Amino acid sequence: MRATKPFERLNINDTVLLVVDHQVGLFDLARDFDPQLFYRNAIAHAALGKLFDIPEILDLYPDVPIIKRPGEINAWDNAEFREAVKATGRSQFIVGGIVTDVCVTFLSLSLREEGYSVWANVEASGTTSTLIRDVSNSRMQAAGVHLAGLFSIAADLFRDWRNPPGAEKMSEWYAKYAPAYLVTAQLFNAAKGNSTS
């Protein structure tokens, strides 16, 4: 039996990372996660850009070029943000932000409306309650937004332990941000050393 929708994979050469409103003043609104876990997930989301050398458009994120929105709630309503997205020439976007029901959902739906493919990083998006998170994720999914977690996104971008950035760099990322999956990387490296992979 064929799936009703084809499996769309992230293409590292066609992907952009979006970080929306991950800022100190809004972190308190992310109550659907353990605060320390959510903070780590937000940092891990941003770290995907460096790890895979994919462009990042970070909105209100410290220590990087900032696209300020003087009042627009939906980042897509800001002309500078829209132009930055369009200037990438890419068609796939990974979105993480605060709050899921507003900043992430509005932007994701706007990108879908423009014909882009969108992956909402559910582990790097937080809101005020699990109810609001679930309703927002359902709304995005109904519009064709892919809902995915950190490990899924990283694995889709990586695809093969022999690909850049390499098993060693991936192991470092897992150790820092996704320790539950570190054993997978360690087993691969051990098998590779034994010529069993």
- For the record, the structure tokens of 49 come out as 């850009």
Q: Are 86 and 114 in contact (CB under 8 A)?
A: no
Task: Tell me the backbone φ, ψ of residue 55, rounded to 5 degrees.
Answer: -60, 145
Do β-strands 15-20 and 117-121 pair in parallel, antiparallel, or remain unpaired? Answer: unpaired
Q: Are 150 and 123 in contact (CB under 8 A)?
A: yes
Q: Are 22 and 61 in contact (CB under 8 A)?
A: yes
CA atoms lying within 13 Å on the CB side of residue 81: 23
Euclidean distance between CA atoms 31 and 119, whole angstroms: 22
Q: Are 48 and 153 in contact (CB under 8 A)?
A: yes
Catalytic site residue from 94, 103, 109, 170: 103
Is 79 marked active-site?
no
Beta bridge mates, 147: 120
Do β-strands 92-97 and 117-121 pair in parallel, antiparallel, or remain unpaired? Answer: parallel
**Amino acid letter, 129:** S
Euclidean distance between CA atoms 177 and 40, whole angstroms: 6
- Catalytic residue numbers, as ranges: 103
